Amino acid sequence: MRNNSVTLAITGASGAPYALRLLENLIAQRQQVFLLMSSAARVVFATEEDMQIPASPQAMTEFFCQRFKVSDDQLKVFGKEEWFSPVASGSAAPGRMVVCPCSTGTLSAIAVGASDNLIERAADVVLKERGQLILVPREMPLSTIHLKNMLSLSEMGATIMPAAPGFYHQPQSIDDLVDFVVARILDHLELEQNLVPRWGYGKP
């Protein structure tokens, strides 16, 4: 597995700002990003960010590369049935994957190894190869089914990281709340971040 790159999957749960901020920081730290985005996520982006994301992987790659001013060597989008993409095989996939935000439907499919689309397959590959899988659900309240799926995935080695920002850093804006969650994701990826002050250092 490749450890100099990250797979970022964006699904249809609410939380587009988390995904955008995370993608921005991954690119800023010169990570190679393999981006997977569900059709439901495109609807959420239109609703929450007033952002019209192209449907085709090539057009989506161009869209995000222009937005973040990077080349398609650093940021590449793959479609839901691109089974020959690197993320579909343990021989080429990144050793790290984040699903942010992670819908409960996607979480369920990953938990049972459905692999019906590339997001699910990529997560399955990371789990079977003993890589790092971070899932960022936002749903509330959580049903017993959701909790059982999270427990199952945690037992498989995944990290369940709900989009639940703290307030001890005295956030002044929505961006501050978004940064709290993104900072914790970056910490677990062992990437540098100065988005929020660390507990015990300065405020509070």
Q: Annotated binding site for FMN: which residue ranges?
A: 12-14, 38, 103-106, 138
Binding-site residue numbers are 12-14, 38, 103-106, 138, 168, 184
Q: Which residues are part of a known binding site for dimethylallyl phosphate?
A: 168, 184
**Burial status of residue 176 (CB atoms within 10 A of its CB: 0-12, 13-18, 19 or more):** middle
Q: Please check whether residue 179 is in contact with residue 195, taking contact to mean a CB–CB distance below 8 angstroms.
A: yes
**Three-class SS state of 17:** helix
Residue 199 burial (CB count, 10 A): 11
Q: Which residues pair with 75 in a beta bridge?
A: 33
Tokens for 155, please give them.
């037992």
Other Cβ atoms less than 10 A from the Cβ of 141: the count is 5
